[in-house]
Chains A and B, each alone.
Chain A
Amino acid sequence: MTSVTETATPASRQILAKRTPTWMRALPFLVAIASPVILDKISWNPFGGWKLLVGFLVLVGIGWFAWSNAEHDPDDPRLSLKLWHRADQRALAAVTCFVLMAIPFILSTDWEPPMDFPWNSWFRIVNYIILFALGAGAFNLLVGYTGQLSMAHAAFLMIGTMVGAQVGLIWEQSFWLCLPVAALAGAVLGVFFGIPALRLRGLYLMLATIGVHFIILLVWKEYIVHQFGFSGMRFTTPNLPSWLHWIPGINPEDGEFLINSQFRWFWVNLGITTVGLLFIVNVVRSREGRAFAAVRDRDISATLLGINVPRSKLVSFALSSALVSVSGCMLSYYNRARSEDSFHLELVLDYGIIIVVGGFMGIQGAIFGSIFFFALPMYFEWMREELPIISDIDFFSRYAGEIDLAIRGILVVVVLVWRPDGLAGLWQAMKKRALLRMQAPRRGVVQ
């Protein structure tokens, strides 16, 4: 038998070489995205623009340097178990860290940005993106990775919130204790409400989990009315524990350091989401996670290999619900107020859109999906308010919500038709192509 890849790789490279370069194909999109900016009366601050440019060049430089040193040893079967085993993956991780750390400083200072962008409202969006990425990643672990279609997502957000309220508000414990308790409660209840999955699958499981949503909704309403009355919950501002005050940049006032600004929430959200998402990544790459995927793909085959299918399903429910519950607790503390109707069943659809558009592949889908989900409406709003022609048209501002929904719907369809594996798939493909192009000349010299 002949090996497929050995003949296939050079051929695919030839095809690549004949294609239009990526940046050229991306040009229309870039122009489309940038056109509002160009159309806008650009208030270009030379100093700000200069800083932005240097920062950008430094980033590109770091990325290029690390990338050009990339080594690939596809033949070692063990490497693929390591998280960042290739230099380009490490470089990407470093650049991502850098960007993430730069975001709050860019958004929070009174530095005049180069364009009339609503930076401050973007900070709230960034925080939402981070929080929703955790929930979406957990949702994806259950739905995308284990193939258990569950609609009880909002219910577990409620459970996290109830735990947060009970532990933090009624028992007056610290916010930091609420999170592990929420995780624990989510895990236990996840196992309990995951039991239908042992018998049902697909649409039937979906219907059963809608039932779960309404059971927990009932508990939620009773809980709010009895404990908080009709005004709903008002969450307190979390306080950084005093043993963490040594961290540079933290200067407590009156011995307290309250998480009371977008800037401070950013770090809390980022830290917990990062831990949660890395946890998911590692579960997915472990024996346990492969068992999830095996159960999704063919559960009979999984049984044959000695995988305990019911256990895998329940573990997936437990892990996913635990993380969703943590994200619910954080969302509520971040939002400050919660009332009876804070969590709709439709919230599941939001998370569904996030992972479908982002793609079912790992956590990248959750991240890209969240960005898509939150940044897009924000961008539309800005266009509506700032652009010379569009802002004059009354129709756009009068039906703002509807138009946003419609455009978002159309974009969902476009993304899915264009790339069924979502934005994460698009990203992967772009990366692969870039890597191939970088390797091609060097290989050519060797050959």
Chain B
Amino acid sequence: MSSSLKIDGLSVSYGPIPALRNVSIEVPEGGFVSVLGSNGAGKTTLVRTITGVLYLQKGKVTSGSITRDGQDMTKLKTRKIVTGGVAQVPEGRMLFPQLTVEENLRCGAASRRDLAGINDTLSEVFDLFPQLPPLQNQLAGLLSGGEQQMVAVGRALMAKPSLLVCDELSLGLAPLIVRDLFLLLDRINKEGVAVLAIEQNARIALQHSTYAYALEVGEIVLEGPSDELRENQEVQDLYMGGGGDSREAYAAIRREVNR
């Protein structure tokens, strides 16, 4: 299968501080890939590099390449990358708080010029998130965290991407909302959009993705099909609190308390 995104031997540093070392990741066309990593592993750095905003943080690609359709993306401007079909849901949502939900969504289509097409995509996004139409004229800064994340995903979709990069979608959200969001990602993925979910929440990411990578201190330490990683003892120890199933962990705690 051809790949939607191919990262090859990527190394990135902020000044003298290396943040990524020799990272290789591949997202197949229409695939759902996740990258797991704890705090400071370099997840956001990876996203910044893909979307070409590393320079804003004074970061530099020291070696390696990111290719898409055979074209190197590390030298491209962000707007070229966005027009090329890569949209990002940034960490912490980063909505425009003083704009309404609709204006936020329309901002997502900033790279497009066809008003009719934009209106159609807007209707599609509103269909995908039925919670949003009633909030259309609400200021985005006043929404709840889950609603804001939906707007953030919808805003990314407004660019009609073929690859959606999500940075810590689950950050600060209730488990039920996170589950809903990932179900939506599944739906978006079914419609042919490749998804790269960068997550600290390994459990949910492994449930929904088909292939996964584990990033630790800037390096890929583990990779494989998500089902296999889910069974992997190391992954369970590292990212799932070692207890395997949460129900089991909960039961263990109850036993402790009752004793």
| Contact surface of A with B, Cβ cutoff 8 Å | 1, 3-6, 74-75, 77-78, 80, 287, 290-291, 293-294, 296-298, 300-308
Contact = CB atoms under 8 A, between A and B. Distances in A.
Nearest to A287: B110
Given A297-B99, A306-B83, A291 B134 contact: no
B135 A5 contact: yes
Contacts of B81: 306
Contacts of A306: 78-79, 81-83, 110-111, 159
Given A77-B136, A305-B110, A307-B110, A298 B94 contact: yes
7 contacts: A4-B134, A290-B103, A293-B99, A304-B53, A304-B78, A306-B159, A307-B111
B179 to A, nearest CB: 11
B96 A298 contact: yes
A80 B159 CA distance: 20
Given A290-B103, A290-B107, A1 B131 contact: yes
**Among A1, A75, A296, A298: residue with most chain B CB under 10 A:** A1
Contact of B131 (A3, A74, A296): A3
B126 A297 contact: no
A290 B99 contact: yes
B99 A308 contact: no
**Among B110, B113, B136, B144: residue with most chain A CB under 10 A:** B110
Contacts of A298: 94-96
A306 B95 CA distance: 14
A263 B83 CA distance: 53
B227 interface: no
Interface in B102-151: 102-103, 106-111, 113, 119, 122-123, 126, 131, 133-138, 144, 146-147
A291 B53 contact: no
A1 B177 CA distance: 8
A291 B97 CA distance: 14
B180 interface: yes
Contacts of A296: 98
A290 B106 contact: yes
Given A75-B133, A303-B53, A304-B53, A297 B108 contact: no
Contacts of A303: 53, 56, 78
A77 B123 contact: yes
Interface of B: 51, 53, 56, 78-79, 81-83, 88, 90, 94-99, 102-103, 106-111, 113, 119, 122-123, 126, 131, 133-138, 144, 146-147, 155, 159, 177, 180
A423 to B, nearest CB: 18
Contacts of A301: 90, 94-96
Nearest to B87: A305
**Among B94, B102, B107, B137: residue with most chain A CB under 10 A:** B107
Contacts of B56: 300, 303
A179 B53 CA distance: 41
A5 to B, nearest CB: 4
Given A3-B134, A80-B102, A294 B110 contact: yes
Closest 3 CB pairs of A and B: A306-B82, A306-B111, A297-B96
A303 B109 CA distance: 12
Contact of A291 (B51, B107, B144, B159): B107
B94 A304 contact: yes
Contacts of B155: 305
A27 B106 CA distance: 42
Contact of B110 (A1, A75, A78, A290): A290
Contacts of A77: 102, 119, 122-123, 126, 133, 136
B119 A305 contact: no
A291 B110 contact: yes
A375 B112 CA distance: 45
Given A293-B96, A304-B53, A306-B111, 20 more contacts: A1-B146, A4-B138, A6-B134, A75-B133, A77-B136, A290-B103, A291-B107, A293-B98, A293-B99, A293-B107, A294-B99, A297-B98, A297-B99, A300-B56, A300-B90, A304-B82, A304-B88, A305-B82, A305-B111, A306-B159
**Among B83, B119, B133: residue with most chain A CB under 10 A:** B133
A5 B137 CA distance: 11
Contact of B97 (A3, A5, A297): A297
Contacts of B102: 77, 80
B175 to A, nearest CB: 13
Contacts of B111: 305-307
Contacts of B96: 293-294, 297-298, 301-302
Contacts of A287: 106, 109-110, 113
Contacts of B133: 75, 77
A4 B130 CA distance: 12
Contacts of B159: 305-306
A303 B95 CA distance: 12
Contacts of B110: 287, 290-291, 294, 302, 305-307
B155 to A, nearest CB: 7
Given A1-B131, A5-B135, A307 B103 contact: no
B160 to A, nearest CB: 12
A392 B156 CA distance: 68
Contact of A300 (B53, B82, B99, B146): B53
Contact of A74 (B137, B146, B177): B137
